[in-house]
Chain A
Amino acid sequence: MSQKIDLDQRRFRKIIRGKIKDNLRKYISNGDMIARKGKDTISIPLPSVDIPRFKHGGKQQGGVGQGEGEVGDSLGKDGEEQPGGPGEAGDRPGEHLVEVDVSLDELAEILGEELALPRIEPKGSEKIVSHKDRYSGIRTTGPESLKHFRRTYKEALKRQISTGTYNKKNPIIIPIKDDKRFRSWKSIPLPQSSAVIIYMMDVSGSMGDEQKEIVRIESFWLDTWLSSQYKGIESRYIIHDAMAREVDRDTFFSTRESGGTMISSAYKLCSKIMEEEYPSDEYNIYPFHFSDGDNWSVDDTTSCVEILNAQILPNSNQFSYGQVESPYGSGQFIKDLRENFSETENLVTSEIKGKDAIMDSIKEFLGQGK
């Protein structure tokens, strides 16, 4: 029996992987996969693996439920499915989207395959510390596969003794549900990472929500890929308009300043961080800068070029600049960079015209194996 379903399952997975690969582009554009759930798996909504049929349109229908609540009370957002209750098999599967749990590593692998990304050759001394999970903890809920027998029985024994049902002459211990104990893990934190990504984003008035979304999505994938190449990676976030400052991840994605744009401020801060905290012989550094290309002045641009030449480029594995299109930006900066650094191997530029171009842009950034 197991043979047959394995075949069906493999067939399903093949189709899914075909779909994952094919529609990787589609998913990047939609940016659906950023949330992290659990330890390090994320759920990816996949395109319909369900077979089309004549059916009623969803939103019009509603339904009937039971329980407390007033008219007008909200029942929750879009169809949160409650798993539960014994399944009566034999009915047709019908969900529109199937979520298949793929670990980040698998995801990075798929990305790598899809984009034919070369593996990165880290420079300098590798201080790779692996990251082990020790199943040294205990908790009261969990899946059967993690049941901790001794503790469970110990609990049962404790209960029996305290309620007086324990019979020394006939010591039979039967645990009940509340006695069950399960193993749980503790993650040992990394003492040292060997790579750091420094994200810089232009948050001047010309960077709209759509542009920020593109940056967000792209940075997620960059993060995923680089994390898979290095066991342990740090990320730093710098936002700038006319001035630069370092922020945390959430702020990075949600800020809207509205000043003018002086890119050199960001580069200065970046190189400061690099100098102070990440000696280049120990770290593989990846600065990424995203902007709409509208710098304040030619002088400022010259300044940027200087900083890049003197401080950033010699110490980074690769400096990457992504220019998003915006109706307000002149897009001049990318031209300047390209002019000045056409011979430089470890500076990569890429134009990101829209959500659909994200994949291509990633390929440009990561395609060199630096």
Chain B
Amino acid sequence: MSALHKPLPVHLQDMQQEIEQHACDFGLDFFPILYEVLDYKTMNEVAAYGGFPTRYPHWRFGMDYEKLSKSYEYGMSKIYEMVINTNPSYAYLLEGNSLVDQKLVMAHVCGHVDFFKNNYYFSKTNRKMIDGMANHASTVRRHMRAQGQSVVEDFIDVCLSIENLIDPMSLFIARSPKPSTSKPKEAAETPRIEAKGYMEEYINPPEFMEAQRQKIEQEEELKKKYPEEPQRDVLQFLLEAAPLADWERDCLEVIRNEAYYYAPQAMTKIMNEGWATYWHSKILTTKALKGSEVVDYADACAGVLATAPGQLNPYKLGVELLRNIEMRWDKGQFGKEWDECDSMAVKASWDRRLGLGRAKIFEVRKLYNDITFIDEFFTLDFCIEQKFYSFGYNERASSWEIMSRDFEKVKKQLLDALTNRGQPVIRVVDANHGNTGELLLKHDHEGVDLDMGHAKDTLENLHKVWKRPVRLLTLVEEKRKMLRHGEDGYSEAAADTSD
């Protein structure tokens, strides 16, 4: 990004210094932050671009912009803060916000940047993504000039359709493939029919054994699959194995690259927002707010932390859980003794005065993602205190209803929703299914069916990439189904376990 359009006005520079000083005093550790003040139109534009000054040309950014503009113009919502995961980090302030608002934003931003810098799941992201996005944009534009805008745009639509088929955890967990089947099978023995020693030659004559051995070797050859292990990074697989033109490959790479860049944000939304909220609250209420500003601050916060029925507010969940952890570690409410204590009264007055809370939450922000965060720290007490419930759709009443306040159910529902960023797990299983070059994918069904309309269209898009028929194995209403998109269009068939 070229030099900032306008230098920050002096009073905001001073404010930034003050807030960042407090943040550092508290132990926050962040990349240098560069602020820019934008009017609401520009703010909406930048927001539509995901916080970057430019992206590849595509109508979806126009759509996001439209939504954001309407939302703002009708007084429905306002973007308070925007900050991107880069070094240095760029952040934006909305012109016309009150001073209290700006303070809040700055403190909040410090929290976010500290999170980006220190959370494990961000450790592999490209901090120079400003350049990255610009490169992506020029690559796409170059291809649009050569191939035509619509052609490239349509292909990008196809890529976006499958952009969730990635494997972010693969950056952190080595997914080692099984040893290659091309190694001689010394260990495997040709099966023999049981025979007493003197009968051996008659029951298992050498010629027979040789023929059997050859047969087994042939079968092994046929079985050799590509990919050898089902692969979740479908985009990577397609880049390697699909018959793509060079420009198509470039575009798919752009999409894959950006998907990986954003994946950690999706994996840590609750924690990240909670962390930033925790700090803006801490910094403002203990250090930076003047008495006269408190009411405005409370007002602004109330909006951010409001919970609407049937919705989960990640800010609220995140910050409350962090505070809960801090309280527990300050008071020593953890460990074997605590877990085994079953007296409400004892638990209520438990206070070992360990003061480990602050350090603990710093550790949490470093090592956890939303799933591990919830899994470990979302306890029964917390659930009850925060009045969580799980809800579902009641067909008969045609409305959403509270289903349960049962802790196990609520927690499971929460975790289910977070697993794989809420996306179904799809793997590439076979690039040569039925020996006809058909691509076979499998959906790991965890109790929720796929949206069939979408699945149909997505398969069509996969077909456009793979250029030969593609199949998806899944469960529909508890029955195994094979969905297929080929030259003759879409079809569904019951599948048995041999597929």
Contact = CB atoms under 8 A, between A and B. Distances in A.
Most chain A CB neighbours (cut-off 10 Å) among B46, B62, B157: B62
Contact of A176 (B45, B162, B296): B296
Contacts of A49: 63
Nearest to A38: B74
Nearest to B63: A12
A327 interface: no
Contact of B402 (A2, A72, A90, A100): A72
A12 B62 contact: yes
A77 B262 CA distance: 32
Contacts of B451: 55-58
Contact of A65 (B70, B162, B295, B309): B309
Nearest to A143: B75
A87 B43 CA distance: 11
A86 B61 contact: no
A297 to B, nearest CB: 45
A90 B81 CA distance: 13
A77 B391 CA distance: 12
Contacts of B126: none
Interface string A4-35: 11011111110100000000000000000000
Interface in A72-116: 72-80, 82-93, 98, 100-101
Contacts of A90: 50-51, 84, 262, 265
B401 A75 contact: yes
Nearest to A62: B392
Contact of B60 (A52, A60, A84, A93): A93
Interface residues of B, number: 107
Interface stretch (B12-20, B186-194, B218-226, B452-460): B452-460
A60 B70 CA distance: 31
A251 B413 CA distance: 46
Given A12-B63, A62-B391, A76 B399 contact: yes
Nearest to A43: B70
A9 B426 contact: no
A71 B249 CA distance: 51
A317 B417 CA distance: 60
Contacts of B59: 8, 11-12, 15
Contacts of A141: 75
B279 interface: no
B449 A60 contact: yes
A282 to B, nearest CB: 39
A345 B164 CA distance: 60
A68 B387 contact: yes
A289 B79 CA distance: 51
Given A88-B265, A89-B49, A55 B450 contact: yes
A15 B63 CA distance: 10
A85 B443 CA distance: 34
B403 A82 contact: no
Given A64-B417, A75-B400, A145-B73, A56 B262 contact: no
A56 B308 contact: no
A101 B73 CA distance: 12
Given A15-B59, A51-B161, A89 B313 contact: no
Given A56-B450, A62-B400, A142-B75, A2 B42 contact: yes
B311 interface: yes
Interface in A254-285: none
**A87, A142, A177 pick with most chain B CB within 10 angstroms:** A87
Nearest to B112: A88
Contact of B388 (A7, A64, A79, A83): A64
B404 A71 contact: yes
A342 B269 CA distance: 69
B424 A76 contact: no
Given A59-B393, A177-B299, A75 B399 contact: yes
A71 B391 CA distance: 9
Nearest to B315: A85
Interface string A220-243: 000000000000000000000000
Interface string B462-481: 00000000000000000000
A57 B448 contact: yes
A80 B399 CA distance: 10
Nearest to B64: A93
B165 interface: yes
B48 interface: yes
Contacts of B262: 90-91
Contact of B62 (A8, A70, A89): A8
B266 interface: yes
A57 B47 contact: no
A9 B42 CA distance: 14
B423 interface: yes
A143 B96 CA distance: 13
B65 A8 contact: yes
A55 B443 CA distance: 11
Nearest to B320: A66
A60 B304 CA distance: 29
A51 B394 CA distance: 28
Contact of A86 (B81, B389, B392, B458): B81
Contacts of B165: 54
Contacts of A5: 45, 48-49, 61-62, 65
A68 B391 CA distance: 12
A191 interface: no
Contact of B269 (A11, A12, A15, A88): A88
B102 interface: no
Interface string B62-102: 11111110110111111111101000000000001000000
Interface string A195-230: 000000000000000000000000000000000000
A300 B162 CA distance: 65
Contacts of A59: 393, 395
Contacts of A79: 310, 400
Nearest to A11: B59
Interface in B391-422: 391-395, 397-405, 410, 413-414, 417, 422
B79 A86 contact: yes
Contacts of B422: 56
B306 interface: yes
A174 B69 CA distance: 28
Given A15-B59, A84-B306, A66 B313 contact: yes
Contact of B57 (A7, A58, A61): A7
Given A90-B84, A144-B96, 20 more contacts: A5-B45, A8-B59, A11-B62, A52-B453, A52-B457, A54-B454, A55-B423, A61-B417, A64-B390, A64-B413, A66-B307, A66-B317, A67-B389, A83-B77, A87-B77, A89-B51, A93-B67, A143-B75, A145-B73, A176-B296
23 contacts: A7-B57, A52-B453, A54-B162, A54-B164, A54-B423, A59-B393, A60-B393, A62-B413, A65-B388, A69-B389, A71-B402, A74-B394, A75-B309, A78-B399, A78-B400, A85-B304, A85-B306, A86-B80, A89-B49, A98-B67, A142-B75, A144-B40, A177-B299
Interface of B: 40-42, 45-51, 53-54, 57-68, 70-71, 73-82, 84, 96, 153, 157, 160-165, 262, 265-266, 269, 273, 295-296, 299, 303-304, 306-313, 315-317, 386-395, 397-405, 410, 413-414, 417, 422-424, 426, 443, 448-458, 461
Q: Which 7 A-B pairs have the closest CB atoms?
A: A12-B62, A62-B392, A52-B457, A8-B62, A82-B308, A9-B62, A86-B80
